[in-house]
């Protein structure tokens, strides 16, 4: 389990359970007021009282661990509701209190091991899936994305609906940046802070160097080859920043042929018109052209590389959350 991170809560619970240590999963179902953690946040608790993850800023974890251990002892799930006082909220950085509702499920006795394993496997395959629990019958099922859940998957919003708790498990967000330029140096740390796994692509090794991008994942392959290896899906954004058609265009064509949710391209209106002409000549139609955000970023009057990066990250977020 040493290679699992604090974001791998279902994986950790499954590993603890299979190791014979016991495991319970606690998940935030609903929040009211100024709740410390969003719905869907999870805490894994082992039979020995170890915990990984969180369901609050620290104000209710102790009580949740006690209830998780009780659930492991009696094999029954439970729903817990906590009021977070103003003093407790202030201690974890909030101005005012609120309430949270938490679902606690012992693995094996309540949540079937096979279902948890299937959930973990879907996460490993980067397949979005919803874990649905009927709060009256305690029936459970895994559901692939469907029209009725599209808003929840797009906004990463778990919650209670029609007597069932729907926990959304989306693959991690990813960003591929083509062009290791100044804007990329500002954009990549912002994207990581927003939860994106990033890849910087630039065949020019002097640009895409560890010195310029310390600790970042770099590729010196040609952009279309790098993106094919990276894999483009509905949780991936692509931004091209080189101003060089021979570098940007292969990446743009690859993104347009994928399910990437965002494609943004740096360049003026005149530059983009030339880009569109090249793409149309290559066989791309109006629907494909409409997917390109160019000039890239929200129109906020950005001038500096950092300001442009803010505008790009804002536009990516807007497209992700609002469609």
Structure tokens at 114: 């096979």
In this prediction, residue 98 carries a pLDDT of: 67
**Cα 287 to Cα 284: distance, rounded to the nearest angstrom:** 8
> Which residue reads 């990549």 in tokens?
188
Domain 173-322: CATH superfamily, name plus number: NAD(P)-binding Rossmann-like Domain (3.40.50.720)
What strand order describes the sheet that includes 164-169? 140-143, 129-134, 164-169, 159-161
CB-based contacts of 83: which residues, under 8 Å, 6+ apart?
97, 98, 99
In this prediction, residue 100 carries a pLDDT of: 84
CB-based contacts of 66: which residues, under 8 Å, 6+ apart?
none
Pinpoint the residues of the chain covered by CATH 3.40.50.720.
Answer: 173-322
Structure tokens at 36: 């410390």
Which portions of the chain are predicted below pLDDT 50?
A: 1-2, 90, 92-95
3-class SS letters over 201-243: ECCCCCCCCCCCCCCCCEECCCHHHHHHHHCCCCCEEEEECCC
The answer to whether the CB of 130 falls within 8 A of the CB of 152 is yes
In this prediction, residue 85 carries a pLDDT of: 61
172-222: per-residue pLDDT in tens? 899 999 999 999 999 999 999 998 999 999 999 999 999 999 999 999 999
**Cα 317 to Cα 182: distance, rounded to the nearest angstrom:** 21
**Cα 64 to Cα 50: distance, rounded to the nearest angstrom:** 12
Helix axes 245-256, 269-281, angle to 10 degrees: 60
**Cα 130 to Cα 234: distance, rounded to the nearest angstrom:** 16
In this prediction, residue 94 carries a pLDDT of: 43
DSSP, residue by residue, 138-206: --EEEE---GGGHHHHHHT--EEETTEEEEEEPPPEEEEEES-SHHHHHHHHHHHHTTEEEEEE-S-TT
In this prediction, residue 304 carries a pLDDT of: 96
Q: How far is CA 15 from CA 46, 51, 111, 221, 312, in A?
A: 10, 13, 14, 37, 39
In this prediction, residue 5 carries a pLDDT of: 54
In this prediction, residue 95 carries a pLDDT of: 43
The answer to whether the CB of 177 falls within 8 A of the CB of 230 is no
Cα-Cα end-to-end distance for the chain: 36
3-class SS letters over 266-305: CCCHHHHHHHHHHHHHCCCCHHHHHCEECCCCCCCCCCCH
**Cα 260 to Cα 230: distance, rounded to the nearest angstrom:** 12
In this prediction, residue 106 carries a pLDDT of: 98
């Amino acid at each position: 389990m040493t290679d699992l991170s604090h974001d791998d809560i279902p994986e950790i619970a499954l590993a603890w359970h299979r190791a014979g240590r016991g495991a319970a999963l606690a998940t935030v179902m609903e929040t009211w007021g100024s709740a410390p953690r969003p719905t869907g946040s999870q805490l894994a608790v082992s039979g020995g009282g170890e915990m990984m993850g969180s369901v609050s800023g620290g104000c209710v974890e102790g009580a949740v661990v006690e209830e998780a251990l009780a659930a492991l002892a009696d094999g029954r799930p439970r729903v817990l509701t906590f009021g977070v006082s103003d003093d407790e909220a202030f201690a974890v950085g909030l101005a005012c209190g609120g309430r949270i509702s938490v679902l606690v499920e012992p693995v094996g006795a309540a949540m079937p091991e096979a279902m948890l394993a299937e959930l973990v496997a879907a996460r490993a395959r980067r397949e979005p899936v919803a874990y649905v629990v009927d709060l009256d019958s305690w029936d459970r099922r895994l559901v692939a994305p469907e029209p009725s859940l599209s808003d929840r998957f797009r906004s990463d919003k778990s919650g209670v609906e029609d007597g069932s708790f729907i926990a959304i498990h989306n693959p991690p967000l990813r960003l591929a940046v083509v062009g290791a330029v100044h804007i990329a140096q500002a954009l990549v740390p912002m994207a990581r802070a927003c939860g994106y796994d990033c890849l910087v692509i630039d065949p020019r090794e002097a640009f895409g160097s560890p010195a310029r991008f310390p600790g970042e994942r770099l590729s010196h392959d040609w952009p279309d080859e790098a993106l094919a290896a990276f894999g483009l899906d509905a949780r991936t954004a692509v931004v091209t920043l080189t101003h060089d058609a021979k570098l940007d265009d292969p990446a743009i064509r690859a993104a347009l042929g994928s399910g990437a949710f965002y494609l943004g391209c740096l360049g003026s209106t005149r530059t983009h018109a030339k880009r569109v002409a090249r793409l149309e000549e290559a066989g791309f139609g109006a629907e494909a052209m409409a997917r390109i955000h160019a000039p890239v970023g929200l129109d906020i009057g950005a001038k500096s590389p950092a300001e442009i990066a803010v505008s790009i990250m804002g536009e990516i977020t807007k497209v992700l959350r609002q469609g």
